[in-house]
Amino acid sequence: MRFNTELQRAHDPQLNSAINIIRDIKENGNHITAMLSYSDLIQLGGYTAVEYCGGPSMIFRMGRVDIPTEGEASNAVAITESNHENAVQVRKFEMMGLNAEEFVALMGSHTIGFANEDNKGKKGRWSMNPYVFDNTYFQEVLLGHDSLYLKTEADLKLLEDSETKQWVEAYAQDQNLFFENYAKAHVKISERGQEGNLQSEFDEANIVDGGYMENGNNHWSAKKEVKKYSTKAEEFAGAHDHH
């Protein structure tokens, strides 16, 4: 995505700004950013944005190999549609062979950001607060045309299929479920085709579906069990209740 041909096909000026920032980090950062590939830096930016906006923490693995020339990049999967919206993203998800659970979770990424820089009003974003990563995208999708915010054909189609609608409803009700499935799907597509090149500072045996197992082998999304400890006075009172 760093080559001019790909940027022109995307028809999105925001991507040009983002790639310029990536180039600056690569060339003027530190010894670590110099070691990372452009592909790594682009993906790391996505991981960081999600977490910074309140979304799930995901384990980043580095080692992606960049496509070396613009000619080779032109032969890779590219955006060719003249319109932006999110139909392009939907089509790319479908080409990656994602199941409904993963596909719908990734559509939830539209909870942050704007459709374009020229319109930051209600019809230029998918949710009330485009700077917070939460499950409000799905709540708005369920409102259909009654939603005050942007709804594209791709968003509304999620309600036409019973399987995808089921996941929209599930994520609208349970943000923890959305976060867990989003993390798994995001990591899956960000590592696709590069699995053999990747490495992490974390113990590979402890990485589970995009999250890291810690605190007694609990996944990051696991709810901690709250134990109630009775006092001696409560035990005494309870014992006398039986007499």
Residue-by-residue pLDDT tens, the chain, 243 positions = 555 655 555 555 667 777 888 888 888 988 888 889 988 999 999 999 999 999 999 988 888 988 766 555 555 544 444 444 444 455 555 556 788 999 999 999 999 998 877 778 888 899 999 999 999 999 999 999 999 999 999 999 999 999 999 999 999 999 999 999 999 999 998 888 778 777 776 666 656 666 644 444 555 455 544 344 344 444 444 454 554
Beta bridge partners of 212: 207
Q: How many CB atoms lie under 10 A from the CB of residue 78?
A: 14
Q: Would you say 161 and 168 are in contact if contact means Cβ atoms under 8 Å apart? A: no
CATH architecture of the domain covering 4-212: Orthogonal Bundle (1.10)
| Whole-angstrom distance, CA of residue 21 vs CA of residue 44 | 13
- Could you tell me the residue ranges of all domains in the chain? 4-212
SS3 116: strand
Q: What is the rounded CA–CA span in Å between residue 21 and residue 206?
A: 33
